[in-house]
Amino acid sequence: MARHSGGRGWYGRLIGAALGVTMLATGASVWTAQAGDVDDAPPEATAPADPGQNVKPVSRTIAHASEQGKRGINITIDDGPDPKWTPQMLDLLRQNGVKATFCMVGTQAQAHPDVVKKVVADGHRLCDHSISHNTGMDKESNAYQAKQILDAERMITKASGGVRPMYYRAPGGAFTPYSRKLAADRGMRPLGWNVDTKDFELPGTDAIVATVERELPGGPTLLFHDAGGDRTQTVEALRRLLPRLKAQGYTFGFPVR
Protein backbone atom coordinates (compact mmCIF):
# COMPACT_ATOMS: atom_id res chain seq x y z
CA MET A 1 0.00 0.00 0.00
CA ALA A 2 1.62 3.22 -1.09
CA ARG A 3 0.96 6.44 0.72
CA HIS A 4 -0.61 9.21 -1.30
CA SER A 5 1.38 12.40 -1.51
CA GLY A 6 1.10 14.46 -4.71
CA GLY A 7 -2.00 16.61 -4.95
CA ARG A 8 -3.20 15.72 -1.46
CA GLY A 9 -2.18 18.85 0.47
CA TRP A 10 -5.65 20.40 0.33
CA TYR A 11 -6.56 19.02 3.74
CA GLY A 12 -3.54 20.64 5.27
CA ARG A 13 -4.48 24.01 3.82
CA LEU A 14 -8.17 23.69 4.66
CA ILE A 15 -8.00 22.05 8.08
CA GLY A 16 -4.49 22.36 9.43
CA ALA A 17 -4.83 25.94 10.65
CA ALA A 18 -8.02 25.15 12.52
CA LEU A 19 -6.78 21.97 14.13
CA GLY A 20 -3.12 22.79 14.59
CA VAL A 21 -2.18 19.57 12.88
CA THR A 22 1.27 19.22 11.38
CA MET A 23 1.14 17.33 8.14
CA LEU A 24 4.14 15.05 7.68
CA ALA A 25 5.50 14.35 4.23
CA THR A 26 5.92 10.64 3.68
CA GLY A 27 6.51 8.36 0.75
CA ALA A 28 7.42 4.92 2.08
CA SER A 29 5.23 1.86 1.96
CA VAL A 30 3.51 0.85 5.19
CA TRP A 31 2.36 -2.62 4.25
CA THR A 32 4.77 -4.34 6.65
CA ALA A 33 3.69 -2.18 9.57
CA GLN A 34 0.04 -2.78 8.74
CA ALA A 35 0.40 -6.53 8.70
CA GLY A 36 2.19 -6.76 12.06
CA ASP A 37 0.70 -8.08 15.28
CA VAL A 38 -0.59 -5.67 17.90
CA ASP A 39 1.92 -5.16 20.67
CA ASP A 40 1.10 -5.58 24.35
CA ALA A 41 2.32 -2.16 25.51
CA PRO A 42 -0.31 -0.14 27.37
CA PRO A 43 -1.74 2.69 25.27
CA GLU A 44 -0.84 6.28 26.01
CA ALA A 45 -4.45 7.36 25.77
CA THR A 46 -7.83 5.78 25.36
CA ALA A 47 -11.34 7.14 25.11
CA PRO A 48 -14.40 5.58 26.73
CA ALA A 49 -17.21 4.25 24.59
CA ASP A 50 -19.97 6.74 23.97
CA PRO A 51 -22.73 6.40 26.58
CA GLY A 52 -25.61 4.22 25.52
CA GLN A 53 -23.82 2.60 22.60
CA ASN A 54 -23.45 -1.16 22.41
CA VAL A 55 -20.08 -1.47 20.71
CA LYS A 56 -18.99 -4.95 19.69
CA PRO A 57 -15.26 -5.37 19.02
CA VAL A 58 -14.21 -6.78 15.65
CA SER A 59 -11.03 -8.27 14.24
CA ARG A 60 -8.01 -5.96 14.29
CA THR A 61 -6.48 -7.50 11.17
CA ILE A 62 -6.71 -5.38 8.01
CA ALA A 63 -9.64 -6.41 5.84
CA HIS A 64 -9.31 -6.88 2.09
CA ALA A 65 -11.70 -9.72 1.26
CA SER A 66 -15.30 -9.20 0.15
CA GLU A 67 -18.40 -10.50 1.87
CA GLN A 68 -19.48 -11.57 -1.63
CA GLY A 69 -16.75 -14.18 -1.87
CA LYS A 70 -14.24 -14.86 -4.63
CA ARG A 71 -16.16 -12.99 -7.34
CA GLY A 72 -16.98 -10.11 -5.05
CA ILE A 73 -15.73 -6.54 -5.44
CA ASN A 74 -15.57 -3.87 -2.76
CA ILE A 75 -15.93 -0.32 -4.05
CA THR A 76 -14.40 2.06 -1.50
CA ILE A 77 -14.51 5.83 -1.91
CA ASP A 78 -12.28 8.08 0.19
CA ASP A 79 -11.82 11.59 1.56
CA GLY A 80 -15.36 12.97 1.27
CA PRO A 81 -18.11 13.57 1.52
CA ASP A 82 -18.07 16.28 -1.10
CA PRO A 83 -21.24 18.19 -2.02
CA LYS A 84 -20.47 18.08 -5.76
CA TRP A 85 -18.85 14.72 -6.41
CA THR A 86 -20.36 12.39 -3.81
CA PRO A 87 -23.95 12.84 -5.10
CA GLN A 88 -22.80 12.07 -8.66
CA MET A 89 -21.19 8.86 -7.46
CA LEU A 90 -24.30 7.98 -5.46
CA ASP A 91 -26.38 8.37 -8.63
CA LEU A 92 -24.09 6.01 -10.56
CA LEU A 93 -24.06 3.43 -7.79
CA ARG A 94 -27.85 3.56 -7.56
CA GLN A 95 -28.28 3.18 -11.32
CA ASN A 96 -26.10 0.07 -11.29
CA GLY A 97 -27.46 -1.45 -8.09
CA VAL A 98 -24.04 -1.27 -6.43
CA LYS A 99 -23.26 -0.72 -2.76
CA ALA A 100 -20.02 0.93 -1.66
CA THR A 101 -18.08 1.88 1.44
CA PHE A 102 -17.45 5.60 1.95
CA CYS A 103 -14.34 6.41 3.98
CA MET A 104 -15.07 9.87 5.35
CA VAL A 105 -12.85 12.54 6.83
CA GLY A 106 -14.45 13.73 10.06
CA THR A 107 -14.42 17.44 9.27
CA GLN A 108 -15.88 16.79 5.82
CA ALA A 109 -18.72 14.78 7.36
CA GLN A 110 -19.31 17.53 9.89
CA ALA A 111 -19.47 20.13 7.11
CA HIS A 112 -21.84 18.12 4.88
CA PRO A 113 -24.22 16.08 7.07
CA ASP A 114 -26.90 16.11 4.37
CA VAL A 115 -24.56 14.21 2.04
CA VAL A 116 -23.64 11.74 4.78
CA LYS A 117 -27.32 11.04 5.36
CA LYS A 118 -27.81 10.43 1.61
CA VAL A 119 -24.99 7.88 1.67
CA VAL A 120 -26.64 6.05 4.56
CA ALA A 121 -30.13 6.29 3.03
CA ASP A 122 -28.85 4.55 -0.11
CA GLY A 123 -27.63 1.58 1.92
CA HIS A 124 -23.89 2.21 1.77
CA ARG A 125 -21.51 1.70 4.69
CA LEU A 126 -19.45 4.32 6.50
CA CYS A 127 -15.75 4.21 7.29
CA ASP A 128 -13.74 6.44 9.63
CA HIS A 129 -10.88 8.09 7.72
CA SER A 130 -9.58 10.30 10.58
CA ILE A 131 -10.08 14.02 11.14
CA SER A 132 -7.39 15.59 9.00
CA HIS A 133 -6.02 12.89 6.66
CA ASN A 134 -2.52 13.03 8.11
CA THR A 135 -0.60 10.35 6.21
CA GLY A 136 2.09 10.52 8.88
CA MET A 137 -0.21 9.39 11.68
CA ASP A 138 1.87 6.28 12.27
CA LYS A 139 4.74 8.52 13.44
CA GLU A 140 2.55 10.35 15.96
CA SER A 141 1.78 9.49 19.59
CA ASN A 142 -0.97 7.12 20.61
CA ALA A 143 -2.83 10.08 22.11
CA TYR A 144 -2.78 11.86 18.75
CA GLN A 145 -3.95 8.74 16.91
CA ALA A 146 -6.78 8.24 19.39
CA LYS A 147 -8.00 11.81 18.93
CA GLN A 148 -7.88 11.51 15.14
CA ILE A 149 -9.82 8.25 15.10
CA LEU A 150 -12.33 8.79 17.90
CA ASP A 151 -13.18 12.41 17.14
CA ALA A 152 -13.77 11.48 13.50
CA GLU A 153 -15.96 8.57 14.59
CA ARG A 154 -18.10 10.94 16.65
CA MET A 155 -18.31 13.50 13.84
CA ILE A 156 -19.38 10.92 11.27
CA THR A 157 -21.89 9.31 13.62
CA LYS A 158 -23.47 12.66 14.43
CA ALA A 159 -23.56 13.74 10.78
CA SER A 160 -25.21 10.46 9.76
CA GLY A 161 -27.97 10.80 12.31
CA GLY A 162 -26.60 8.06 14.55
CA VAL A 163 -25.16 5.48 12.15
CA ARG A 164 -21.65 4.52 13.24
CA PRO A 165 -18.71 3.80 10.92
CA MET A 166 -18.13 0.08 10.45
CA TYR A 167 -14.51 0.37 9.30
CA TYR A 168 -11.40 2.46 9.90
CA ARG A 169 -9.01 3.27 7.07
CA ALA A 170 -5.78 4.97 8.04
CA PRO A 171 -4.86 7.92 5.81
CA GLY A 172 -2.39 6.67 3.23
CA GLY A 173 -2.49 3.26 4.90
CA ALA A 174 -0.55 4.57 7.92
CA PHE A 175 -1.84 1.97 10.36
CA THR A 176 -0.13 1.13 13.62
CA PRO A 177 -0.76 -1.79 15.96
CA TYR A 178 -2.30 0.71 18.40
CA SER A 179 -4.61 2.34 15.84
CA ARG A 180 -5.80 -1.03 14.58
CA LYS A 181 -6.60 -2.23 18.09
CA LEU A 182 -8.30 1.02 19.05
CA ALA A 183 -10.51 1.00 15.95
CA ALA A 184 -11.35 -2.70 16.28
CA ASP A 185 -12.29 -2.28 19.94
CA ARG A 186 -14.70 0.44 18.79
CA GLY A 187 -16.29 -1.95 16.28
CA MET A 188 -14.47 -0.55 13.23
CA ARG A 189 -12.59 -3.15 11.18
CA PRO A 190 -9.30 -1.82 9.83
CA LEU A 191 -9.75 -1.54 6.05
CA GLY A 192 -7.06 -1.83 3.42
CA TRP A 193 -7.19 -1.90 -0.35
CA ASN A 194 -5.86 -4.04 -3.19
CA VAL A 195 -6.23 -1.75 -6.20
CA ASP A 196 -5.13 1.84 -5.87
CA THR A 197 -6.60 3.51 -8.95
CA LYS A 198 -4.38 6.60 -8.47
CA ASP A 199 -7.37 8.68 -9.50
CA PHE A 200 -6.17 11.46 -7.18
CA GLU A 201 -3.28 11.99 -9.61
CA LEU A 202 -5.74 12.67 -12.46
CA PRO A 203 -4.12 10.15 -14.84
CA GLY A 204 -7.11 10.13 -17.20
CA THR A 205 -10.24 8.01 -17.28
CA ASP A 206 -8.64 5.41 -19.56
CA ALA A 207 -5.74 4.97 -17.14
CA ILE A 208 -8.05 4.54 -14.14
CA VAL A 209 -10.08 1.90 -15.95
CA ALA A 210 -6.94 0.12 -17.14
CA THR A 211 -5.50 0.04 -13.61
CA VAL A 212 -8.63 -1.63 -12.25
CA GLU A 213 -8.74 -4.22 -15.03
CA ARG A 214 -5.03 -4.99 -14.68
CA GLU A 215 -4.86 -5.21 -10.88
CA LEU A 216 -8.26 -6.63 -9.95
CA PRO A 217 -6.99 -10.25 -10.05
CA GLY A 218 -4.75 -9.30 -7.12
CA GLY A 219 -7.64 -8.55 -4.77
CA PRO A 220 -11.19 -7.24 -4.58
CA THR A 221 -10.99 -3.90 -2.76
CA LEU A 222 -10.83 -0.90 -5.11
CA LEU A 223 -9.82 2.58 -3.96
CA PHE A 224 -11.44 5.68 -5.50
CA HIS A 225 -11.86 9.26 -4.28
CA ASP A 226 -14.81 11.64 -4.14
CA ALA A 227 -12.99 14.71 -2.76
CA GLY A 228 -9.69 16.56 -2.91
CA GLY A 229 -10.14 18.08 -6.35
CA ASP A 230 -11.81 17.53 -9.70
CA ARG A 231 -13.23 14.01 -9.69
CA THR A 232 -14.63 14.03 -13.24
CA GLN A 233 -12.27 11.23 -14.26
CA THR A 234 -13.34 9.06 -11.33
CA VAL A 235 -17.02 9.54 -12.11
CA GLU A 236 -16.47 8.61 -15.76
CA ALA A 237 -14.32 5.62 -14.83
CA LEU A 238 -17.06 4.30 -12.55
CA ARG A 239 -19.61 4.90 -15.29
CA ARG A 240 -17.63 2.52 -17.52
CA LEU A 241 -16.47 0.02 -14.92
CA LEU A 242 -19.62 -0.78 -12.98
CA PRO A 243 -21.67 -2.25 -15.85
CA ARG A 244 -18.57 -3.83 -17.43
CA LEU A 245 -17.59 -5.67 -14.26
CA LYS A 246 -21.17 -6.80 -13.65
CA ALA A 247 -21.27 -8.20 -17.20
CA GLN A 248 -18.10 -10.16 -16.39
CA GLY A 249 -19.87 -11.90 -13.52
CA TYR A 250 -18.59 -9.89 -10.59
CA THR A 251 -20.87 -8.93 -7.71
CA PHE A 252 -20.49 -5.86 -5.52
CA GLY A 253 -20.63 -5.81 -1.76
CA PHE A 254 -18.82 -4.80 1.37
CA PRO A 255 -15.49 -5.72 2.93
CA VAL A 256 -15.53 -8.49 5.49
CA ARG A 257 -16.04 -7.53 9.11
- In tens, the pLDDT along 14-30 reads 444 334 333 333 333 33
At residue 39 the predicted structure's pLDDT band, cuts being 50, 70 and 90, is very low
Q: Is residue 107 part of a domain?
A: yes
What's the pLDDT band for 53 if we cut at 50, 70, 90? low
Instruction: List, in order, residues 6 or more apart from 149 with CB less than 8 Å away.
Output: 128, 130, 168, 179, 182, 183, 186, 188
pLDDT single digits (tens) 223-257: 999 999 999 999 999 999 999 999 999 999 999 99
Per-residue pLDDT tens over the stretch 190-210: 999 999 999 999 999 999 999
Range of the domain at 218: 72-252
CATH (domain of 199): 3.20.20.370
Catalytic residue list:
78, 225
Specify if 112 maps to a domain. yes
Assigned domain for 44 exists: no
**Residue 26: inside a domain:** no
Residue % of the chain over a pLDDT of 90? 79
Q: Which of 165, 159, 174, 152 is CA-nearest to residue 105? A: 152
Would 36 be classed as within a structural domain?
A: no
Question: Does residue 76 sit within a domain?
Answer: yes
Q: Does residue 140 fall inside a structural domain?
A: yes
- Counting the structural domains of the chain, the total is 1
Q: Does residue 35 sit within a domain?
A: no
Rounded Cα distance, 205 and 233, in Å: 5
